[in-house]
Amino acid sequence: MTKSATSPDVSIVVPAKNEAENLPGLIRGIHDAFASTTHSIEIIVVDDKSDDNSLTVLEKLRSDFSELRVLTHPQSAGQSAAVHSGTRAAKAAFICTLDGDGQNPPSELPRLVAPLLAANAPAELALVAGQRVGRQDTMSKKLASKAANGIRSFILKDETRDTGCGLKSFKRDAFLELPYFDHMHRYLPALFSMNNWTVAHVDVSHRAREAGRSNYSNLQRALVGLVDLFGVAWLIRRRKKARASEAAVAQEHGNT
């Protein structure tokens, strides 16, 4: 049974901008997904300076769903900033994320977080990343995503087929140890691996957008993605050099 708690088992973080039409079904879906489980939850919607009636809709939803919390950005800061804000505010040790557009089915959330909550969960497991199957998007978006994922995988060697999927679960503390930068949400498998955490993958379903429109174009994604990609590659190389230096110092100390 889903119940409110001072320290919930799972915090679900939803970045949203101008998704007023999608939010009621999404919040209901998250609530229902955990209703038959023993896990207590909180739902944190981070409104990224919407200019539709999202805040009015969310205020009404709060009267029906006691587990719902609403955070607002004073100015639009993007999806990564919303995920970061929500995770910092979260009360649970384990976080789930999904996009506010309703294309990520909330019914996938319990399955996604299950590996982290399992009694025999490996201590080094920190991220479970969803990978979309049967993606319900336009052909141009699917082709652009496939190309971007191929380039990213080739350069970062992150062994991830689909980093653009909003469905993810992770350890809160491990996430907050990562270097924060804009668009970091697209590189979480590589960033967690960089910090010596284990990453697992789960295939998840995908739905067509029912209302509203995307806040990104294919060109926008490509331009910012190229810059970010090389930045992440630099971070990983720097971390490897730092570890090599630390190992050399440790070896030297061991010989004295």
Confirm if 175 and 195 have CB atoms less than 8 A apart: no
Confirm if 95 and 175 have CB atoms less than 8 A apart: yes
Nearest to 83 by CA among 166, 160, 165, 177: 166
**pLDDT reported for residue 1:** 39
**Percent of the chain's residues with pLDDT above 70:** 76
Sign of CA dihedral 3, 122, 204, 44: positive
For residue range 162-190, list pLDDT tens digits in order. Answer: 778 899 999 999 999 999 998 899 899 99
**Domain 10-254 is in which class?**
alpha beta
**pLDDT reported for residue 136:** 56
Q: Produce one character per residue of 77-88: b if its CB has 16 or more CB atoms within 10 Å, e if not.
A: bbbbbbbbbbbe
Confirm if 154 and 113 have CB atoms less than 8 A apart: no
Confirm if 30 and 2 have CB atoms less than 8 A apart: no
- As a whole number, the mean pLDDT across the chain is 85
For residue range 124-155, list pLDDT tens digits in order. Answer: 999 999 998 866 556 666 666 666 666 766 67
**pLDDT reported for residue 152:** 65
**pLDDT reported for residue 237:** 76
Q: Above 70 in pLDDT, residue 7?
A: yes
Please compute the mean of the pLDDT values over residues 189-199 and round it to a whole number: 94
Structure tokens at 61: 């939803």
Could you tell me the residue ranges of all domains in the chain? Answer: 10-254
Q: Is the pTM of this model over 0.85?
A: no
For residue range 94-134, list pLDDT tens digits in order. Answer: 999 999 998 999 999 999 999 999 999 999 999 999 998 86
- Give the separation between CA 194 and CA 187, rounded to whole angstroms: 11
8 phi and psi, to 5 degrees? -70, 160
**Percent of the chain's residues with pLDDT above 90:** 61
Sign of CA dihedral 75, 78, 79, 82: negative
41 burial type by CB count under 10 A (0-12 exposed, 13-18 middle, 19+ buried): buried
How do 41-47 and 68-72 pair as beta strands? parallel
**pLDDT reported for residue 68:** 98
